[in-house]
Amino acid sequence: MPPHSPAPFPAARLRRLRRTSALRDLVAENAVSAADLIWPVFIREGESVEEPIGSMPGVNRLSLDMLMRRATEAHEAGVGAICLFPYTAAELRTEDCAEAWNPENLTNRAIRMLKAELPDMAVMTDIALDPYNINGHDGFVEGEEIVNDRTVEALVRMALAQCEAGADILGPSDMMDGRIGAIRRSVEKAGFQHVAILSYAAKFASAFYGPFRDAVGASGRLVGDKKTYQVNPANRLEALRCVARDLDEGADMVMVKPGLPYLDICRAVKDEFGVPTFAYQVSGEYAMLAGAIERGWLSEAVMLESLLGFKRAGCDGVLTYFAPAAAKALRG
């Protein structure tokens, strides 16, 4: 709907409704709430460990006991969902990526602990082979190629192990073709009809993922780049085709990733499909804002302002490393 054009001055004075905070709140078109946020968390082995990540000020790799403590605090502050990313030990990164579907891997143990102790918090997982792959790719590598169909079979095994552990939301982030359909069929057949899929549908081949690769220990390992499977940042229509395809194959929700440089895609997805739409405010976006806040170059207000931008662009929710801090700021 186009905005109504205002009457000529002085009949219309747009500042009237900006005069007090009560008036401004009354006519606010969008709002961020803690319940809109999914908190991505890096987990690692050990006890009582909170290991800082240099390129992400304020973000730590957490051992599972610390994960429980921090997740409980975040949940108490109103964050409704958490998404797990493992830092896998070097000896468990192999060419066959078998650790990815080990029922006892770090992620699956974390899911069980979270669901036992914080049953009301939704637990989301990541489905891709990169944390377990010797070469940092999301799929199996044969010669120069990241092979599709054999990778999809492995992703299905990974998804089933996560369902067994109690995951609420599966997050296929690999960008292989046909993975949503394959995962949906297998998960249904195995009796996990209730498990939702939040597809990383429009995932762009972005340089904004740099700090994440430090966080999961993949930076030095990645051989080449991910341009043969992630979307070219130049392409809007291709991103919409990816979303349409994933919805047809059984995704319940879709994601645009990265977030801030791709708000046009968020808006297009919401307008075109009207489905639950999420954006991932990725590690590089976080690093820019958190780094500038840390140095005093920007005020902390940019955190909520950036999240509000996603809501204005049509997103229902946001994956953000700011989730616990934002939830606390929203409480005032």
Ligand X SMILES: NCC(=O)CCC(=O)O
Distance of CA 158 to the CA centre of its chain: 18
Distance CA(55)–CA(69), nearest Å, equals 23
Candidate residues 36, 99, 126, 246; the one interacting with ligand X per rule CB under 6 A: 126
Contact code string over 131-170 relative to ligand X, x by CB under 6 A: ----------------------------------------
Which residue out of 115, 189, 203, 328 is catalytically annotated? 203
Binding ligand X (rule: CB under 6 A), the pick from 105, 162, 277, 283 is 283
The residue (of 180 and 282) whose beta carbon lies closer to ligand X is: 282
Measured from the CB atom, is 101 or 200 closer to ligand X?
200
270 catalytic per annotation:
no
CA atoms within 13 A on the CB side of 163: 22
Q: Are 159 and 187 in contact (CB under 8 A)?
A: yes
d(CA 180, CA 245): 9
When the beta carbons of 27 and 141 are compared against ligand X, the nearer one is: 141
Instruction: Say which amino acid occupies 254.
Output: V
- Least separation in angstroms between residue 284's CB and ligand X is 6
Catalytic residue among 189, 226, 227, 257: 257
Contact between 107 and ligand X (CB under 6 A)?
no
Report the candidate in 243, 248, 241, 252 with the shortest Cα–Cα distance to residue 201: 243
Interface with ligand X, residue 63, by CB under 6 A:
no
230 lines the binding site for ligand X (CB under 6 A)? no
Distance CA 207, CA 285 (A): 10
Which of 165, 168, 137 shows the shortest CA–CA distance to 154? 137
Q: Report, in Å, the least distance between residue 315 CB and ligand X.
A: 16
Q: Give the binding range for ligand X (CB under 6 A) out of 11-19, 156-164, 230-238, 278-286.
A: 278-286
Nearer to ligand X, 134 or 190 (CB): 134
Query: Which residue is nearest to ligand X, using beta carbons?
Result: 212
The β-bridge relationship of strands 50-52 and 60-62 is: antiparallel
Q: Is 212 in the site for ligand X (CB under 6 A)?
A: yes
Contact segment (CB under 6 A) with ligand X among 117-125, 144-152, 239-247, 277-285 equals 277-285
Residue of the chain from 108, 173, 199, 277 that contacts ligand X (CB under 6 A): 173
Contact 174, 139 (CB under 8 A): yes
User: How far apart are alpha carbons 216 and 86 in whole angstroms?
Assistant: 6
Closest approach of ligand X to the CB of residue 247, in Å: 20
Nearest of 134, 109, 137 to residue 123 by alpha carbon? 109
Stretch that binds ligand X, among 147-155, 237-245, 262-270, 282-290 (CB under 6 A): 282-290
**Residue 209 in contact with ligand X, rule: CB under 6 A:** yes
Question: Hey, what are 29's tokens?
Answer: 């078109």
**Nearer of residues 160 and 175 to ligand X, judged by Cβ:** 175
Any idea how long the chain is?
332
| Distance of alpha carbon 82 from the chain centroid | 9
Q: Is 127 exposed, middle or buried (0-12, 13-18, 19+ CB in 10 A)?
A: buried
Contacts with ligand X by CB under 6 A lie at 126, 128, 173, 209, 212, 282-284
Active-site annotation, residues: 203, 257
